[in-house]
Structure 1
Amino acid sequence: MTATELPAPATTTAAPVPGRMRDLVIKYGFIVVTLALFAYFSASEPAFRNSATLLDILRYVSVAALLGLGVTVTLAVGGMDMSVGAVAGLAVSVAAKMMVVYNQVGAIAILVVLAAGVVAGLGNALLIVALKVPDMLATLGTMFVIQGLKLIVVDGQSISPGMTLPDGHTAPGKFTAGFLKIDRGSVAGIPVSVLIFLVLTVAAWVFLARTRWGRVLYAIGANPKAARLAGIRVGVYRALAYVLSGVLASIGGLILAARIGQGDVSAGTSQLLEAVAVALVGTSVLGRGKPNAWGTALGAVLIGIISSGLTIAGLPYYTQDVVEGAVLIIALVFSFTLSRGRRS
Structure 2
Amino acid sequence: MSPTSTESQAPANSEDADQVRGGLGHVVRSVMYKYALVAVLLAVIGLFSTVNPDVFPTFANAQTIASTQSTIALLALAAMLPLIVGHIDISIGFQFGLAQGLCAYLIVNMGTSAILAVGAVLAVGLLVGLLNGVLVAKVKLDSFIVTLAVGILVLGATQWLTGDVTISGQMPAWFLSLGRANVAGIPLPFIYVVLACAALWLTLEYTAWGRSCYATGGNPRAALLAGVRTERVTIQAFLLAGLLSAISGCLSVMILGASSPTIGLGALLPAFAGAFLGATSIRPGRYNAIGTLIAVYLVAVGITGLQQLGAASYVQQLFNGGALLIAVALARFAATRRSGT
Task: Please report the TM-score for the alignment, with normalisation by the length of structure 1.
Answer: 0.87
Give how far 1:21 is off. Answer: 8.4
Q: Spell out, residue by residue over 1:89-132, the C-alpha distance to the aligned partner (whole angstroms, 9 max, x if none).
A: 11111111211121112111111111111011011012111211
Residues 160 and 331 from structure 1, CA distance in 2 versus in 1: closer, same or farther, beyond 3 angstroms? closer
Inter-partner Cα distance in structure 2 for 1:23 and 1:292? 17
For 1:226-237, what aligned pairs fall within 5 Å after superposition? 226-237=222-233
Q: Which runs of 5+ in 2 are unaligned?
A: 1-10
Give how far 1:149 is off. Answer: 1.0
Runs of 4+ off more than 4 Å: 11-25
Question: Which amino acid counterpart does residue 39 of structure 2 have in structure 1?
Answer: V
Alignment counterpart, residue 148 of structure 2, candidates 124, 137, 140 = 140
Inter-partner Cα distance in structure 1 for 2:29 and 2:191? 36
- Name the SS of the counterpart of 1:316 in structure 2: coil
Q: Is 2:299–2:320's contact at 8 Å kept on the other side of the alignment?
A: yes
Q: Is 1:64–1:300's contact at 8 Å kept on the other side of the alignment?
A: yes
For the aligned residues, what is the CA RMSD?
2.5
Give how far 1:257 is off. Answer: 1.6
Inter-partner Cα distance in structure 1 for 2:257 and 2:105? 12
Alignment counterpart, residue 100 of structure 1, candidates 92, 99, 108 = 108
Equivalent residues, number:
325
1:316 corresponding residue in structure 2: 312
Alignment counterpart, residue 188 of structure 2, candidates 169, 192, 205 = 192
Inter-partner Cα distance in structure 1 for 2:317 and 2:264? 17
Q: Is 2:72–2:248's contact at 8 Å kept on the other side of the alignment?
A: yes
2:135 corresponding residue in structure 1: 127
Give how far 1:24 is off. Answer: 5.9
Alignment partner of 1:205 is 2:179? no
Give how far 1:252 is off. Answer: 0.7
Give how far 1:19 is off. Answer: 8.3
Alignment counterpart, residue 158 of structure 1, candidates 150, 166, 178 = 166
Q: Is 2:307–2:313's contact at 8 Å kept on the other side of the alignment?
A: yes
Alignment partner of 1:29 is 2:36? yes
Inter-partner Cα distance in structure 2 for 1:43 and 1:254? 36
Inter-partner Cα distance in structure 1 for 2:297 and 2:94? 22
Alignment partner of 1:82 is 2:90? yes
Q: Is 2:37–2:294's contact at 8 Å kept on the other side of the alignment?
A: no
Inter-partner Cα distance in structure 2 for 1:49 and 1:190? 16
Give how far 1:25 is off. Answer: 5.3
For 1:6-17, what aligned pairs fall within 5 Å after superposition? none
Give how far 1:186 is off. Answer: 2.2
Inter-partner Cα distance in structure 2 for 1:211 and 1:68? 21
Inter-partner Cα distance in structure 2 for 1:20 and 1:189? 37
Alignment counterpart, residue 322 of structure 2, candidates 313, 318, 326 = 326
For 1:188-267, what aligned pairs fall within 5 Å after superposition? 188-267=184-263
Q: Spell out, residue by residue over 1:173-222, the C-alpha distance to the aligned partner (whole angstroms, 9 max, x if none).
A: x3221221232222332222111111111111111112111111001111
Inter-partner Cα distance in structure 2 for 1:266 and 1:139? 18
Alignment partner of 1:57 is 2:53? no
Residues 244 and 341 from structure 1, CA distance in 2 versus in 1: closer, same or farther, beyond 3 angstroms? closer
Alignment partner of 1:284 is 2:280? yes
Residues 33 and 90 from structure 1, CA distance in 2 versus in 1: closer, same or farther, beyond 3 angstroms? same
Inter-partner Cα distance in structure 2 for 1:183 and 1:241? 26
Identity of aligned residues (%): 31
Give how far 1:324 is off. Answer: 3.5
Residues 224 and 338 from structure 1, CA distance in 2 versus in 1: closer, same or farther, beyond 3 angstroms? closer
Q: Is 1:22–1:338's contact at 8 Å kept on the other side of the alignment?
A: no
Question: Which amino acid counterpart does residue 262 of structure 1 have in structure 2?
Answer: A
